């Protein structure tokens, strides 16, 4: 009846590969990490970091990897790799061989306090440029909790969806019925609370008819997580036909309805045009017959 799904997007790898091809020609040594990542509270998250080194830039020693958590004032940034005391046992390097270009790590059991910015940094020594440090572009980690999607306790004709997330204006919550977006009867847009590390998004919609309801959380247009609720009317065949017909099309809003264009009645135009033609023709024939 009710299940939760965690959706992971891996379109990022393609973008990275593309970036390699473009950026590789310009810069000799670059470090790449995704700008934004999301993680489910209590789950593990992989934070990618890739080193790109052009062929002619021979490394003298193996690069030294640092992963940092960037604090608000950017001082005393704790180190994730190699793990400082704070991250002991919670961080793992995915590719353990030091001469790999894949410097991704896994942060385990993500907590609200893990929301924030992360920097991947490498200390490199090459023949040409000697020793230097190269930074990635920072990854911003957003955390979200399990989505609740069920009938409200006080009214079982109202469907309610709620989720806690790291404060970010890019988050959007929406409810769909058989593919149509529903207008919430009541909605809390996730205003920042006073001391909590998260904000709560919640939407309530009235049940329209039987079928599949889906609550979706998006961040900057990308689906982060969703939950599905199947509704079967307790009274069999109650409003059955209306429900079936209703589910085929999304109801239009007032503004949409205003611009609905009716099909042109071409047949009527033709018929109207035929009337004078027929009259003219019969007049002409009558005239001809009269002359003869
Ligand atoms: C880096 O290594 C991890 C673990 O093997 C893998 O899941 C990930 O896809 C790798 N990243 C790239 C860009 O190859
Ligand atoms: C890093 O960010 C800067 C400024 O936002 C941008 O100009 C640069 O291209 C980025 N570099 C990478 C490797 O994404
Ligand atoms: C439940 O909500 C519906 C839709 O908003 C409303 O019409 C109905 O009166 C409510 N019922 C109760 C018991 O509050």
**Domain ranges across the chain:** 30-142, 145-253, 267-292
What's the CATH architecture for 145-253?
A: Sandwich (2.60)
Residue 11 has pLDDT above 70, yes or no: no
**Who has greater pLDDT, 242 or 109?**
109
In angstroms and rounded to an integer, the radius of gyration of the C-alpha atoms of the chain is: 31
158: Cβ below 6 Å to ligand 3?
yes
**Who has greater pLDDT, 156 or 219?**
219
CA dihedral 147, 153, 158, 161 (to 10 degrees): -10
State residue 138's pLDDT score: 96
State residue 262's pLDDT score: 57
Name the closest ligand to CA 152. 3
| H, E, C per residue of the chain | CEEEEECCCCHHHHHHHHHHHHHCCCCCEEEECCCEEEEECCCCEEECCEEEECCCCCECCCCEEEEEEECCCCCCCCEEECCCHHHCCCEEECCCCCCCCECCEEECCCCHHHCEEEEEEEEEEECCCEEEEEECCCEEEEEECCCEEEECCCCCCEEEEEEEECCCCCEEEEEEECCEECCCCEEEECCCCCCCCCEEEEEEEECCCCEEEEEEEEECCEEEEEEEEEECCCCCCCCHHHHHHHCCCCCCCHHHHHCCCCCCCHHHHHHHHHHHHHHHHHHHHHHHHHHC
Indicate which atom in ligand 1 lies nearest the CA of residue 13: 13
Indicate which atom in ligand 3 lies nearest the CA of residue 158: 2
State residue 192's pLDDT score: 63
Residue 167 has pLDDT above 90, yes or no: yes
Quickly state the pLDDT bin for 252 (edges 50, 70, 90).
Answer: low
Q: List pLDDT tens digits, range 208-223.
A: 888 999 999 999 999 9
Q: Which residue owns the Cα nearest ligand 2 atom 7?
A: 137
Cα–ligand 3 centroid distance for 156 (angstroms):
8
Identical topology for domains 30-142 and 145-253: yes
CATH class entry, domain 30-142: mainly beta
Q: List pLDDT tens digits, range 53-83.
A: 876 667 788 889 999 999 988 888 999 998 9
Q: List pLDDT tens digits, range 185-211.
A: 888 777 666 678 899 999 999 998 889
């Amino acid at each position: 009846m009710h299940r939760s799904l965690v959706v992971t997007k891996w379109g990022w790898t393609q973008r990275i590969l593309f970036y390699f091809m473009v950026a590789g020609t310009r810069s000799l040594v670059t470090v790449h990490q995704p700008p934004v990542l999301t993680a489910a509270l209590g789950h593990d998250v992989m934070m990618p970091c890739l080193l790109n080194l052009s062929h002619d830039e021979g490394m003298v020693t193996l690069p030294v990897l640092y992963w940092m958590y960037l604090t608000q004032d950017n001082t005393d940034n704790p180190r994730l790799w190699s793990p400082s005391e704070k991250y002991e046992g919670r961080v793992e390097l995915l590719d353990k061989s030091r001469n790999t270009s894949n410097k991704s790590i896994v942060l385990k059991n993500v907590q609200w306090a893990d929301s924030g910015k992360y920097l991947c940094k490498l200390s490199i020594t090459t023949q040409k440029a000697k020793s230097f440090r190269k930074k990635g572009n920072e990854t911003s980690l957003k955390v979200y909790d399990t989505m609740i999607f069920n009938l409200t306790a006080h009214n079982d004709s109202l469907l309610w969806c709620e989720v806690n997330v790291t404060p970010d204006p890019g988050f959007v919550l929406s409810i769909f019925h058989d593919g149509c977006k529903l207008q919430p009867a009541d909605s809390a847009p996730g205003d920042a609370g006073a001391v909590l590390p998260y904000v709560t998004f919640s939407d309530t919609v009235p049940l329209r008819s039987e079928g599949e309801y889906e609550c979706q959380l998006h961040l900057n247009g990308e689906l982060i997580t969703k939950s599905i609720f199947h509704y079967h009317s307790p009274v069999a065949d109650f409003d059955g036909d209306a429900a079936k017909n209703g589910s085929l099309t999304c109801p239009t809003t007032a503004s949409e309805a205003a611009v609905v264009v009716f099909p042109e009645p071409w047949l009527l135009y033709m018929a109207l045009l035929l009337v004078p033609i027929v009259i003219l023709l019969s007049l002409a024939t009558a005239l001809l017959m009269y002359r003869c």
